[in-house]
Amino acid sequence: MRKIAITCAVTGAETTRAQNPNLPITPAEIAESARAACDAGAAILHLHVRDAQGAPTQDREVFREAIALIRARSPIVIEVTTGGAVGMSLAQRMQPIALSPEMASLDCGTVNFGDDYIVNTLPMMRDCARAMKEHGVRPTLECFDLSHIDASTILIEEGLVEPPLHYGLVLNVPAGVRFSEETLAFFVDRLPAGSRWTAITIGGRAALKGVKAAVALGGFVRVGFEDNVYLAKGVLAKSNAELVGQAADIIRDSGNEVAAPDDVREMLAL
Ligand code: ZN
């Protein structure tokens, strides 16, 4: 038996209310969704915010407002995004790091994103890693490709990222590496020894399979409207908490334990 952390990505940058009308958008809605997700078993909140028009923003002040509301309601660990949205500069994307959240995502390479792409050169990755180190933020090293795992080891060798290491293995991004349990297992096999990792599988078809594969392979799991809006085929999830509850059931049914926020703080030395 082991403790498995559930990350909930409640909003994301690209998901819309047209895809699921229950998507939380304002800081208050995000904070309430995070509280409910935590109550259902999520230990980590992956946080994106939106502007007043509902468009993705990396504005530090919107993050500040959201983080204050979340902390007032829930003990959940907050992982801010530095991926932002397609077309944003690195300076824009890095803004929430200065708020010293406990965790932040750190994209480890350039990746197709449907018809678009997100650029992450090695110098950009170094800037991001350096800022996180300065502010005491634990990176989640997001890898969308095998080359990203190898690139992450450069940051480690240069001392910009230090153990305990936590990876986010992102599969099934449109025009990226497709998800299969075999592919996920191969990615996991390439990680530095002793790394912890979370499977991030995008889209309704891969969501549950990704959770089950991660549980079987010794990882953590991620669910939420950023990655998938369906509870089952053709059935929209009523809330992020409903998706978390489904993942928590899979973890318990496998004979493992759902990690609490403080378990994650201990495991990742936050
Ligand atoms: Zn994200």
Put residue 182 in one of left, alpha, beta given phi > 0 → left and psi -120 to 50 → alpha.
alpha
The type of residue at 79 is E
Cα-to-centroid distance, 26 and ligand 1 (Å)? 16
Cα-to-centroid distance, 250 and ligand 1 (Å)? 23
Cα-to-centroid distance, 252 and ligand 1 (Å)? 26
Cα-to-centroid distance, 161 and ligand 1 (Å)? 20
- Classify each residue of 38-49 as buried b or exposed e, where b means 16 or more C-beta atoms within 10 Å of its C-beta: bebbbbbbbbbb
The CA distance from 203 to 51, in Å, is 24
Cα-to-centroid distance, 80 and ligand 1 (Å)? 8
Question: pTM of the full predicted structure?
Answer: 0.98
Write down the pLDDT at residue 243: 98
Cα-to-centroid distance, 101 and ligand 1 (Å)? 15
Cα-to-centroid distance, 104 and ligand 1 (Å)? 10
Cα-to-centroid distance, 125 and ligand 1 (Å)? 16
Write down the pLDDT at residue 86: 87
Domain that holds residue 75: 3-267
Cα-to-centroid distance, 137 and ligand 1 (Å)? 16
Number of domain units in the chain: 1
Cα-to-centroid distance, 76 and ligand 1 (Å)? 17
Residue spans of the chain under pLDDT 70: none
Write down the pLDDT at residue 87: 87
Cα-to-centroid distance, 218 and ligand 1 (Å)? 22
Cα-to-centroid distance, 13 and ligand 1 (Å)? 7
Write down the pLDDT at residue 233: 94
Q: Residue 31: CB partners within 8 Å, gap ≥ 6? A: 66, 69, 70, 72, 73, 74
Cα-to-centroid distance, 192 and ligand 1 (Å)? 23
What residues form DSSP beta bridges with 220?
198
Write down the pLDDT at residue 198: 98
Write down the pLDDT at residue 65: 98
Q: What is the CATH number of the domain that holds 153?
A: 3.20.20.70
Cα-to-centroid distance, 164 and ligand 1 (Å)? 21
Write down the pLDDT at residue 177: 97
